[in-house]
Amino acid sequence: MPTLSDPNPPLIVRAMRSVPSRKFQRFVYQRAFHYPHRNILVIGQPKAGTTWLTRLVCEIPGYVRWTPGSIKLDKHDFHPGDLDPPAMGYTITKVHTPPTGANIKLIHAANRPYLVITRDPRDLAVSWAYYNTLPGRTRVAHPQAQSLPVEGRIAYYIDNILEGKIEWALQWRKRLHPTLGMFIRYEDLLADPFPIMRRAYAHILGGEPEVSDNWVRAAIERNSFKKVTGREQGEADAKNFNRKGISGDWQNHFTPDHIASFKRIAGDALVLLGYEQDNEWGGNDA
């Protein structure tokens, strides 16, 4: 059985990096590689680590990013024909698709592995509060929240957005296909990416080719927070898409009012999602 062992990309991948046409790259890769699945989905909520996970999956030589034309910046529902037949080449599709009946039916009918990543909803609230004011966000953001201070934007998220994000995560856990789907928590990937990605690569490739430990570690290192941003993990840049790269940042931002509102809307969900053992988090003032 072939093995991915060389930490460096194959010669053909290095050569094709200078080719500006992504379509031509896919044409070449389809003939150069022989993987069991032509398209892999990486599904996650915005600011849940979906971009990082996608970069890691794209480390598999020959796979490149591709998005169906029906997927828009603010709408990620699939249409018939988006996934089957697959696009030319070997592709990774990053989406924020909700687990509606129609989406689940199309994804499972495509009969290929997919990854779903979620994040602690409290950290999502904080990350959104910063992300919402980045340049270029005006068209799809919540303009009524953009002029608020960070504390106000977190409160806005909890009151107006949180419930839908909680339902997204709960329903994906419930509807995840038992063999095609793999559920990943951002916090687990952050704490120890090696076992998570070892399993993710095996899930995608079906064990052929096998991936060596050195190859997995090299892929992780190339996509580390420091490699991507030039900053140490936890060193914040509020104007950067990759702001801080840590978990638990909600503890630096949540006020007692935030905690009380969050518990009222989603306290039980945090337990169901495995982020808390009970609803007593946040101290006695909540």
Please name each of the domains of the chain with its CATH number.
3-120+167-244 (3.40.50.300)
On the CB side of 251, how many CA atoms lie within 13 Å of its CA?
A: 6
Give residue for tokens 């977190």: 154
Of the candidates 81, 105, 83, 79, the residue with the CA atom closest to the CA atom of residue 93: 83
Asked if residues 37 and 204 have their Cβ atoms less than 8 Å apart, the reply is yes
Asked if residues 107 and 78 have their Cβ atoms less than 8 Å apart, the reply is yes
For the chain, the distance separating the N- and C-terminal CA atoms, rounded to the nearest angstrom, is: 56
Would you write out the chain's pLDDT as a tens digit for each of its 286 residues?
Answer: 456 888 888 899 989 988 888 899 999 999 999 999 999 999 999 889 999 999 999 999 999 999 998 888 777 999 999 999 999 999 999 999 999 999 999 999 999 999 999 999 999 999 998 887 766 665 556 878 888 899 999 999 999 999 999 999 999 999 999 999 999 999 999 999 999 999 999 999 997 788 999 999 999 999 976 676 555 665 655 554 555 666 889 999 999 999 999 999 998 999 999 999 998 998 654 4
Q: Output the CA torsion sign for 39, 103, 126, 191.
A: negative
Peptide bond into 209 cis (omega under 30): yes
